[in-house]
Amino acid sequence: MEVTQILLNAQAVDAAVRKHAEESLKQFEEQNLPVFLLSLSNELANHEKPVDSRKLAGLILKNALDSKEQLRKTELVQRWLSLDVSVKSQVKSCLLQTLSSPVPDARSTASQVIAKIAGIELPQKQWPELITSLLSNIHQLQPHVKQATLETLGYICEEVSPQVVDQDQVNKILTAVVQGMNASEGSADVRLAATRALYNALGFSQTNFSNDMERDYIMRVVCEATLSPDVKIRQAAFECLVAISSTYYDKLASYMQDIFNITSKAVREDEEPVGLQAIEFWSSICDEEIDILDEYGGDFTADSDVPCYYFIKQALPALVPMLLETLLKQEEDQDQDEGAWNLAMAGGTCLGLVARTVGDDIVPLVMPFIQENITKPEWRQREAATYAFGSILEGPSPDKLIPVVNVALNFMLTALMKDPNNHVKDTTAWTLGRIFEFLHGSTLETSVITNENCQQILTVLLQSMKDVPNVAEKACGALYFLAQGYEDSPGSPLSPYFQDIIQSLLNVTHRDDAGESRLRTAAYETLNEVVRTSTDETAPVVTQLLPVIMLELHQTLETQKLSSDDREKQNELQGLLCGCLQVIIQKLGASETTKYAFMQYADQIMELFLRVFACRNATVHEEAMLAIGAVAYAVGGNFLKYMQGFYPYLEMGLQNFQEYQVCAITVGVVGDLCRALEEKILPYCDGIMTQLLKNLSSSQLHRSVKPPIFSCLGDIALAIGENFEKYLIYSMPMLQSAAELSSHAVATDNEMLDYANQLRNGILEAYSGILQGFKNCPKAQLLVPYVPHILQFLDKLYNEKDMDDAVMKTAVGVLGDLADTLGTHASTLMNQSVASIEFLEECLSSDDPSIKESAEWAKMAISRAVSV
Amino acid sequence: MPPPEVRRSIKRSAVSDQQRRRELALLRQTQQRSDSQNRARRLASSVFTLSSSSSSDLILPDKDILTRAADSEEHEAHLDESVAPARELNVVQASKLKGREARQWFARQLMLPEWMIDIPPKLDRDWYVFARPAGNRCFVVSSNGTTISRLRNGSVLHHFPSSLPNGSRTRDSSGPASSYCVLDCIFHEPDQTYYVIDMVCWRDYSLYDCTAEFRFFWLNSKLAESGACNSPSTYHRYRFSVVPIYDCNQAGLHAAYSTSMPYTKDGVLFFNKHAHYQTGNTPLALVWKDNYCSQYFLDTDSQGLVPTQQQVVLEMQEDGKLTTSDDPPVVFGSLEVDFIQKSEFRAGNLLRFAIKDESVRVVDGKLELGDLQFISKSNRARAFADSYSKVFFQYAARHSPLKIEDIAASILPNLPDDSPIVDVEMGS
């Protein structure tokens, strides 16, 4: 069968035909890759073929070059690079040829495939003529070819990193793109393609944005494009402005007045998608200024890479009224629709960011709007006024807000009970939650909540939890923050009502409509917070709650033969119940008196969790795993009796690369088990260690799980002591190579540096655990050969000067551990390392008490070692 | 239309409770990892030696030691060795011991300086010197919200609240409730002050295996911080104070010997800078006195008078041999079997003898006592026989005492090309 027919069959309605075609394609790819790729590119380039087969041919080509999975992606890149040159150039020539096809879908698909190949080849310095050939005669091209070419340039910019492209080529790309955006361009399609291409090319334009003339030109063209008659061009142009606001914040000063006018017009008059982008521009400026001011940390002499231009503060008198206007443009059902996003929501969100940026200054600008609208008969006005109030509660100082809130609180409580409109009640409950979140709690000097009004607040919230789902959900949220504010405060005014609160929340979880507006989830979240923040006085109630939740979990396990839809709901509920149990167990396990009460239920609870595991749903798995960590912590060595039943699931968890969160949590639970069981974990260590070492060497496992695995090696070593001997030959080389990797890591950005530090911390915790585990046994001498490397690692860390406080504390601790366990064998080597002594001195004079404490201990251990 | 990826509606909560549970679990795990790590670090280390890693070097589980400590007398002879590597673990447990067991345990915990009978080499380079306050040596342990001082023989001197770590039942924000400390002190009656001459454990960290140099550094940086040097108050009955410690050069020796101190002096102590805190007699700490710096130059008898003949207290062994408290013991004579039978003395009894000057001889630098005249059984409060160095020092004191000038002469004046030695005047 020829390829066209197979490609069409692969899109057939008949599943059997489709499946057969897919298999044929797969076979084809496996048996003869070069011919497979050539056939597909010929298909895509052939004007005589049906659009559907051409499109799919392009799509399969694309998938043969890239994958979301990192490992697969690397394989595909290697596969392409190792293909015969003539095959590759034939494929490329077909693709470039397709750019001039009259069929839009064929052009567009070809653009994407070209960009994928560019993404592979440009970093290898291959295909150097690509950009030049695309741009060679751009002025003479027909509009549809020009459009496809610009689109291709845009995709290329998205695909490759700026370092790969010479400034000379960047200049050419930008020139072509900006000319394509110009109002003088006759074709709207070309203008749109150019505008979208600019969005991707902005990251390449550092040099051009530093040149005043070039920047002025680009900005002028972008601003003009926001006034295009074509709504898609206007939207794309605003998207460019948003991207510019975060990438080139420090270059915007001279354009801000114009941009304000443009955005303000768009917000008031343009279609919603355009208006939303215009608001997003200001939200994005707020993000930038919040970050910069955060780095200033209130100290204006402190260095930030970028100075704050206070654009928001300057625009405030005009910006705030514009945003307040948007609040009146609510949609009828927005509160029921979780994914809703409209002008009112974007405006309120932006107002909240503005409040965080400027603080107190926003209050006098918003108060008149609130006062004018809050009592109006029209619900939109009351809701907008409440929303405005709720939005500005984070940012301004408590001193500024508390007097206002004290006046408003009663009004809000009444509105929540009596307002006839659900939107108003929804926003009112949310605003109360914000009040409790930011103006109540032990960190504040004065709280807006007193023992007197607390009871009234509670009555209203519990009543409101019986309201329609979206209002009840917000009431739960408010209760969440009310409880949080009383964390660790004995004599909490909530204590007398504790039983009622728990009962009301349980009632909410049982509502028939609790599935709407994520009400059930909110109720459990609030229940969890209420338990977490409870005090000793209410411990008996928490203890009574345990069997109640256990019974509910038991019931979910008894129901059988569910439809797949019901099963999903059941799984979700099991997740919530396991989460709740985890919180209760952790609470009861934390104090000696309540721990005993928990112990009585331990057997039953473990049986339930094992049954939940047997259901094999990944999310439930994770929650039950977290809960089991809490059980191990509470029961300690007694956990041994559950190990046999639990071990298979532990192993499954460690093998779950797909849901890496599950894997990470299971690794944490291994640590809990080590501390609970100590040397009794030994019989399980072979299995656990095998899996952990496998995980460490796998490139499929999400990298965030690796640092905790290293720490976990330390937990195991500390638990089993010299029995760790047999794992040394496997784990030490892994630690060494990871150490090398992490100390050489060129931390180009903060995220990389954070990861490098997490890795370092994990490695150092492993070394600490191993060293301390071998202390006081003759086998400690087995560690002596590893000392030079550990010291080198510490030296490198010290010299790199980019470790964070956590790493510093762990690192100086390892220095002490070396001396503590190995004595003179370590100290002799330490004397040769200048850095370790300087490092110790630096830590001894640290301002961080935990670093200092570790350093003092290390100093003592070293002093003992050198004087032996 | 959904919101853009980067923008979250202000009405939607930022963090899911599940994420919060994950983070809290992680926080708990991190905390517990750090706790276990700290517990492990506080266990005493017996640094292994590749050459002699025998099992006797190893730490014993602390329960065993406790049982031994509380065990019958015959075991106690071995107590010193077996306890040594793990003693810091047991100070707290031992403080729960009562009566005789407690006394016997604590009587073995002090480092006892030998008497200076000749001058060690490199005195100026390797030693510290300080004026010993007059008073009772004692071992001060603060733990469980109380402080107990015990005399050399192990008996309790005071039971009191103090500002030492966990030394009183006030809320001590600076450390865990299980924290403790152990100090080597001299209680000076006239100003009711504990002068701390050494620090053995501080906030659970054992300093036994640290050099004197480090211990004194730690003592000076930590004691004042705790508030223990403050004037007495409800929760701090006795003041603690450090003594000025000098490098043993000409100036240091002069300061310790002749400068007036806030306390009455009873001789001068020399500590080797590199020595660990070693329980029992040690030649790495030395005591020296003369009539100028001590009222107790020559030993007195039970009436407080200097007897005409030198007296010694020796321990009777199983075979009737009379020995000093040194390890190994030095034999100064023996008792006749019929004398023992008549007297009903048992092995381990401490007996007081007078020495006839004319029978004493020094052979190859060793002291031989010759005739011993039995006087009486020793005072019951005594825990130990005299040490060899004490007997020798007392003998020399009566005949040709080691003078301050001799000590000073052994210290070279600073040579001009030496780097200037700055006095480490700790605690002044």
Binning pLDDT at 50, 70 and 90, where does residue B425 land?
A: very low
* Residue A500 confidence (pLDDT) above 70: yes
Query: How far apart are the CA of A681 and the nearest CA of chain B, in angstroms?
Result: 16
Residue pLDDT, tens place only, A377-399: 999 999 999 999 999 999 999 99
Q: What is the pLDDT of residue B87?
A: 41
Of A341, A521, A857, the CB nearest to B9: A341
Confidence of residue B61 (pLDDT cuts 50, 70, 90): very low
> What integer pLDDT is reported at residue B359 of this predicted model?
84
Query: Residues of A with CB below 8 A from B179's CB?
Result: none
Alpha carbon A689 to its chain's center: 29
pLDDT, position B297: 86
What pLDDT, on a 0 to 100 scale, did the predictor assign at position A578? 95
Percent of chain A with pLDDT over 70: 98
- Surface-to-core class of residue B77, CB atoms within 10 Å of its CB (0-12 exposed, 13-18 middle, 19+ buried): exposed
**pLDDT (tens digit per residue) in B105-123:** 777 788 889 999 888 888 8
What's the confidence (pLDDT) of residue A864? 79
CB contact under 8 A, A817 and B45: no
Nearest CA-CA partner of B347 in B319, B318, B376? B318
C-alpha angle A224-A228-A230 in degrees, rounded to nearest 5 = 155
Partner A, chain B 40-59, Cβ-Cβ below 8 Å: 40-41, 43-50, 53, 58-59
A660 interfacial to chain B (CB closer than 8 Å): no
Q: What pLDDT score was predicted for residue B81?
A: 36
Residue among B2, B37, B210 minimizing CB distance to A772: B37
Sequence-distant contacts of A723-726: CB under 8 A, at least 24 apart? A723/A679, A723/A682, A723/A685, A724/A770, A724/A773, A724/A774, A725/A779, A725/A782
Mean pLDDT of B303-332: 87
Instruction: Check pLDDT > 80 for residue A296.
Output: no
pLDDT of residue A388: 97
Assign A700 a pLDDT band (cuts: 50, 70, 90).
Answer: confident
**A786's tokens:** 């590893």
Q: In the structure, what pLDDT confidence band is assigned to residue A745 with cuts at 50, 70 and 90? A: low
- pLDDT of B52 reads 30
Q: Which residues contact A264 (CB under 8 A, 6 or more apart)?
A: A278, A318, A322
Least confident segment among A8-22, A783-797, B367-381: B367-381
Neighbours of A25 (CB within 10 A): 19
Give the distance from residue B61's alpha carbon to the nearest chain A alpha carbon, in angstroms: 11
Asked whether the whole model's pTM tops 0.80, one would answer no
B138 touches chain A (CB under 8 A): no
How much is the pLDDT for A826?
Answer: 80
Taking a contact as any Cβ pair under 8 Å apart, which residues of chain A between 1 and 40 contact chain B? none
Shortest alpha-carbon distance between residue B145 and chain A (Å): 21
Task: Pick the closest to residue A108 from A67, A145, A161, A66 (CA basis).
Answer: A145
* Cβ contact B41–A857 (<8 Å): yes
Task: Give per-residue pLDDT as tens, A237-261.
Answer: 999 999 999 999 999 999 999 999 9
Closest residue of chain B to A717, computed from CA coordinates: B37
CB burial class (10 A; 0-12, 13-18, 19+) of residue B23? exposed
Chain A residue numbers touching B10 (CB-CB < 8 A): 345, 348-349, 352, 390-391
Inform me whether the pLDDT recorded for B428 exceeds 90.
no
> Residue A335: pLDDT above 80?
no
Residue B43: is its pLDDT beyond 80?
no
Rounded average pLDDT over A277-300: 88
What pLDDT does residue A450 have?
Answer: 86
Reported confidence tier of residue A72, pLDDT bands at 50, 70, 90: confident
Asked if B22 lies within 8 A of A661 by C-beta distance, the reply is: yes
Q: Which chain B residues are within 8 Å of A675, Cβ to Cβ? A: 32-33, 36
Q: What is the largest CA-CA distance in chain A?
A: 88
CA distance A214 to A197: 17
Q: pLDDT tens for residues A136-192?
A: 878 888 999 999 999 999 999 999 998 889 899 999 999 999 999 998 888 999 999
Q: What is the pLDDT, as a whole number, of residue A444?
A: 80
The tokens 């200033």 sit on which residue?
A296
**DSSP calls for A367-410:** HHHHHHHTT-SSHHHHHHHHHHHHHTTSSS-HHHHHHHHHHHHH
Q: What's the DSSP call for residue B236? A: B
Three-state DSSP state, A706 = helix
Residue of B nearest to A762 (CA): B30
- Tell whether the torsion through CA atoms of A369, A372, A374 and A376 is positive or negative: negative
Which H or E element spans position B194? strand B193-202
Q: Look at residue B104 and tell me whether its pLDDT is greater than 80.
A: no
Radius of gyration of chain A (CA): 32
Q: With an 8 Å Cβ cutoff, is B210 touching chain A?
A: yes
The minimal CB distance from A867 to the residues B37, B59, B276 is found for B276
Q: State both tokens at A81.
A: 């690079």
Q: Which residue, A479, A453, A452, is CA-closest to A466?
A: A479
pLDDT at A358 over 90: yes
Is A63's pLDDT higher than 70?
yes
Q: Which residue has the higher pLDDT, B56 or A138?
A: A138
Strand, coil or helix: A88: helix
Checking if the pLDDT of B50 tops 60, the result is no
Minimum mean pLDDT among A359-363, A462-466, A579-583, B161-165: which range? B161-165
Given pLDDT bands bounded at 50, 70 and 90, which one contains residue A23?
Answer: very high
**Chain B partners of A817 at a C-beta cutoff of 8 Å?**
41
CA distance B354 to B349: 17
pLDDT of residue B56: 32
**Is residue A168 within 8 Å of A162, Cβ to Cβ?**
no
What's the confidence (pLDDT) of residue A554?
94
Interface test with B, best of A423, A436, A623, A776 (most B CBs within 10 A): A776
Report d(CA A782, CA A729) in Å as an integer.
Answer: 10
Which residue is listed with tokens 């210290």? B411
Q: Is B37 on the interface with A (CB under 8 A)?
A: yes
- Model pLDDT for residues A28-51, shown as the tens digit of each residue: 999 999 999 999 999 999 999 999
- B177 touching A, CB under 8 A? no
Instruction: Please indicate if any CB of chain B lies within 8 Å of the CB of A776.
Output: yes
The H or E element spanning position A329 is none
Residues A142-154: tens digit of each pLDDT: 999 999 999 999 9
Quote the pLDDT of residue B107. 77
Mean pLDDT, residues B268-281 taken together: 88
Chain segment A86-102, per-residue pLDDT in tens: 999 999 999 999 999 99
Of B7, B29, B45, the CB nearest to A349: B7
- The per-residue pLDDT for range A602-623, each reduced to its tens digit, is 999 999 999 998 887 666 678 9
Shortest distance between the Cα of A281 and any Cα of chain B, in A, equals 11
Q: How confident is the model at residue B15 (pLDDT cuts 50, 70, 90)?
A: low
